[in-house]
Amino acid sequence: MEPRPIVTVLHRDTVPDSDLMAPVAQRADVRYTEADGLADALRGADVLFVYDFQTRALPAAWPCADRLRWLHMGGVGVDAVMFPELRASDVTVTNTRNVFDAAIAEYVLGQIISFAKDLPGSIRLQQRHEWQHRESERVAGATALIVGTGSIGRTIARLLRAVGMTVRGVGRRARSDDPDFGTISDDLHAELPDADYVIAIAPLTAHTRHMFDATAFAAMKPHARFVNVGRGELVVTEDLVAALADNTIAGAALDVVDPEPLPADHPLWDRPNVVLTPHNSGDVHGWRTEIVRAFTDNFHRWAAGLPLDNVVDKTLGYVPG
C-alpha cells in the first residue's frame, strides 16, 4: 500500500475552510503552515497549495522541498514563485485562472464610468456642500487599449465592447482577427496614442516589468486615463507620479502599486486625479471559497493521474492562451 501523499497549505491569517478541504484530507495528509513554518512543512510534501498567493517566503524555504511534484497558486499571477530554482525544477505549477475574471472586468468598467462621469469630483463637491453643474463624457465610443490578452483581459474586452467602447489589445503575438479584441498588436507604444483608456492586466515577467515608463506615458493622449489591475511592477511609479502631476495623462485608477502596500506619505495618496484600491479588484464575496474549490478540483485530477488544469509555462511565467 502506497503512503498517503502530503499536501502543504501555505496561508496567512485565514485558514482555508475545513469543509471545502475535506475531500483533500480524505486522500492526503494536509499540513497547514504560515510563512515562518514553511521550510519544515515542505519536507516530504508532494503538493504545495499557496493559499497566501502574495507570499514571498518560498525561495528561502525551497531547499527543503525534497519531494515536491506540484505547486498550485491560489491567485492568477505566479511572479512570486518564479525564482530560478523553481523554474529549473520539474515541479509542475498551476494557477487559479478564471476565478477573478468577471469581478476584475466589472471593476475596470466601474473605474472607466467613474472617470467619464467624474464621480470622485461629485463626491468632493458634496463634501463641500457645493451645487455645481458640470458636463460629463460618454463611455460609448471611447477607445480602450487592454495590455494583456489572457482570460481576464478577454473578459474585460467583452464587457467594454458591450457598453459600446472600441477595444484593442496588446499581447505577445500580433493578430488581426481575434474574436474578443479584433486587433492585437505586439507594439505597445504604437497603440498608446489612440487610446482614451489604457488598462494594464499583463502578467509580470522580465519582458513586462516597468513597461509603463515615462516614454509610455508621454505617448498617451493628455486626456487618457490609466487603469492598472495587473501588477504594480508593470509601472515605473516615479514616472507615473510625474505624468499625473504635469498632466501628461489625465488620471489613474490603481488597484496595484509598487511598492505595495503604498506608504502613508506617498504622493499618489493625495493626487485628485488618482483612485487607489488595496489590490482587491477581484475580491468579491465568496472569492476565498472559489480559490479553494479551484485547488480541490485540480487535486482530484492530480490524484487520479489526469492532466492538471491551468498549467503555467515556467519559461513564459503564465498559462499560455
Q: Is 231 among the residues known to form the active site?
A: yes
Q: Which of 27, 43, 279, 293 is catalytic?
A: 279
CB 258 within 8 A of CB 235: yes
Q: Which of 72, 191, 231, 233 is catalytic?
A: 231
Grid cell 485562472 in the structure block, residue: 97
Distance CA 209, CA 205 (A): 6
Segments of the chain assigned E as strands = 6-10, 29-33, 47-50, 70-73, 92-94, 143-147, 166-170, 175-178, 182-185, 197-200, 225-228, 251-254, 274-276
Q: Is 137 among the residues known to form the active site?
A: no
At 159, which helix (H) or strand (E)?
helix 151-162
Q: Is 223 among the residues known to form the active site?
A: no
Q: Helix 101-117 to helix 151-162 angle, to the nearest 10 degrees?
A: 40
What's the grid cell of residue 179? 474574436
In degrees and rounded to multiples of 5, residue 9 shows phi and psi of -115, 115
Q: Which of 209, 260, 288, 293 is catalytic?
A: 260
Residues annotated as catalytic (active site), given as ranges = 231, 260, 279
